[in-house]
Structure 1
Amino acid sequence: MKIEQIRNATLRIQYAGKHFLVDPFLGDKGSYPPFPNSARQDQNNPLSELPVSKEQLVEGIDALIITHLHMDHYDEAAKEFLPKHLPLFSQNEEDAQVLRNDGFTNVNVLGEDTSYEGISLIKTQGEHGRGEILKMAGLVCGVVFKHEDEKTLYVAGDTVWYAGVQQEIDAHQPEVIVLNAGDNQFLEGGSLVMGKEDVLQTHQAAPQATLIASHMEAVNHWTLSREELKAFAAEQGFSDKLHVPQDGEAFEF
């Protein structure tokens, strides 16, 4: 297994001989307006360039996974650029229909027993915030990868820590967990994804697992920096179980 942090929640994952692109956010730096009612209203999104060209990014990709359709997980550049014939996995039929309308010809809906080339792709639950913000944030998912020749990987997606994440950890016993951990927020409504305390709770629930922090410092409403998260993990004694990659950095397991 190889996991490469691209930018924001975009990951390139090599797993059991297949290459997946997750949550493609492919626009040029500054090509979209800032998210409203949040920090850094003077900075357009994304805040950084891709670490590789779009052509390099999709080279060798076998399948796409789009956990939900928010702009920073699937944008106009992805819609225009990605090869439309690639197998694509979405969270529900509603998203799948949007993607079909965008021209993708092999769209599949993730479930509890989805399989691709011998790899189990299991849809997991998530909550994109807490309280009233959930009504605006909408439905999201994560995905667990399983194969007899690989460690179990849990890509949690845009979720905060809550009982559902505990349930997924208990059910699947993942050995590697990717967390969207930028503590992105609007000025009212609180966290939309995990912050440092959520990351700590995930570690406590799966102390043997290696954690990878994604979705950091790429869009204007982030509130938790990479350096702050690394310092917190050191203070709490789990920095040996946490990777906080820069864009373009990869890890093999």
Structure 2
Amino acid sequence: MTATTRSTAIPARLRLIDVITAERIKFFTLRSNPILVSVVGALIALSALPSAIALTVPSSNPGAAVNTVTSVDSLRFVDTVLWMQIVFAVIAVLYATSEYTSGQIKLSLTAVPSRIPVLAAKAIVISVIGFVVGTVAALIAVCVPLLILPFGDIAYDFVLGYALLLSVASGIYLALTGVVALCIGALIRNVVVAIIIPVAVFSIVPSVLESIGNDTITMLTGYLPTVAGRVILTTFENPAGLTAWPGLAVLAGWALVLLALASWALRARDA
């Protein structure tokens, strides 16, 4: 049996596991990646602290309207995920494009018989990191007010099941936005352009399109990745009428479509 025959006889599942391990090592070898991921998690978790403190401090403005809020729920304390998605998107783009910048992508593609496992492994690594960081940080965020709000006049309507659901949804949301950004990076390959596109699509483009005032355009805006996915983490209505889980499903659809396009592009062009 030749070396070639022995190589092709290795189970595809084992190869993918090996590639995932290699991609995980690559991600954490670059010192800035764990630092930025830690910053994302810390800001999501700790942002609930000033928000909760603000609810216990009466307004010092004598002209301010009387506060009619008597209770809040966990949803109020996870909205920082929607801001930190931009930072996580940049992390994902750099993860996808750094090997092209350094030229190491040729080594990665040479080591793996098929190109698809390399991209699939990157998507798995970034989605697992996003899910873990988003879930844990959001869970801390919804628990922090339990230490603060009892000292004020506003009740905290904390329901464990709902808090866990929001935490898991936060993790799923961050994971999917990470995959979307990763695939954009893999498609574009240019670091600057690849960063600009998800940042614009996630934050600027929706506001611009909605400001046009056309009903059809406004409705279609509701199907943009983060506009659809964020419904589960905010009280704002979706322009297309999407509710929580259907909106998250639309975001997942974007991730799958872009993953398929990035896979096709990776196979069709030179490294």
TM-score by length of 1: 0.23
User: Quick check: which has more Rg, 1 or 2?
Assistant: 2
Higher RCO by CA contacts (8 Å cutoff, separation 6 or greater) = 2
Higher strand fraction (1 or 2)? 1
